């Protein structure tokens, strides 16, 4: 049996916050505003995996009203969600993601980000792909005020 999952996230980019993408701190003048560390990529990945398994979503697992998750490292959130997916008997075939980000350039960080996500999930980096697009100067992404992410995954049953 196989299942697909889709995740999406959007975070504002503001000064005075670190830019964390897929668990990697990328030096930049702005970062994601959010209750946790604001890692939009890991949030979209978490939702894709939870959705594929049909066991909930990130808001349900980690309510923004719960002080326990304030300032959380999103790798921890992903690890908790992934453990719940594994518990249901699934394994990951692959994960594919698109980040919409005007600046900075993502390509130099891609390998590190793929390895970072793969290490949280206990899979090979070649099962995880991430590509970036700019906003072509248009809209919130194009003005550098937001980062937007889509993530798609394929799960297969382990037996």
Site membership for Mg ion, residue 9 (CB under 5 A): yes
Q: Which of 14, 16, 90 is nearest to 48 (CA)?
A: 90
Using an 8 Å Cβ cutoff, are 44 and 81 in contact?
no
Among 43, 49, 77, 78, binds Mg ion (CB under 5 A): 43
Task: Select from 6-14, 18-26, 100-108, 118-126 the region that touches Mg ion (CB under 5 A).
Answer: 6-14
The span from the CA of 108 to the CA of 130, in Å, is: 12
Residue 56 is encoded by which pair of tokens?
């909930």
Instruction: Establish if 47 lies at the interface with Mg ion (CB under 5 A).
Output: no
Please, what is the minimum distance in Å from the beta carbon of residue 7 to Mg ion? Answer: 10
Region binding Mg ion by CB under 5 A among candidate stretches 15-23, 43-51, 100-108, 148-156: 43-51
Pairwise CA distance, residues 88 & 61, whole Å = 16
Interface residues toward Mg ion, by CB under 5 A: 9, 43
């Amino acid at each position: 049996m196989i299942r697909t999952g889709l995740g999406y996230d959007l975070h504002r980019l503001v000064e005075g916050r670190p830019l964390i993408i897929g668990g990697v701190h990328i030096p930049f003048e702005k970062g994601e505003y959010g209750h946790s560390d604001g890692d939009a990529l890991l949030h979209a990945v978490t939702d894709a995996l939870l959705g594929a398994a049909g066991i909930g979503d990130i808001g349900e697992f980690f309510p923004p009203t719960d002080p326990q998750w304030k300032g959380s490292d999103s790798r921890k959130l992903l690890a908790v969600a992934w453990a719940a997916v594994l518990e249901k008997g699934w394994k990951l075939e692959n994960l594919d993601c698109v980040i919409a980000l005007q600046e900075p350039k993502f390509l130099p960080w891609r390998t590190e980000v793929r390895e970072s996500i793969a290490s949280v999930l206990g899979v090979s980096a070649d099962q995880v792909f991430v590509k970036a697009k700019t906003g072509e100067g248009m809209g919130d992404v194009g003005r550098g005020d937001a980062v937007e992410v889509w993530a798609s995954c394929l799960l297969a049953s382990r037996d």
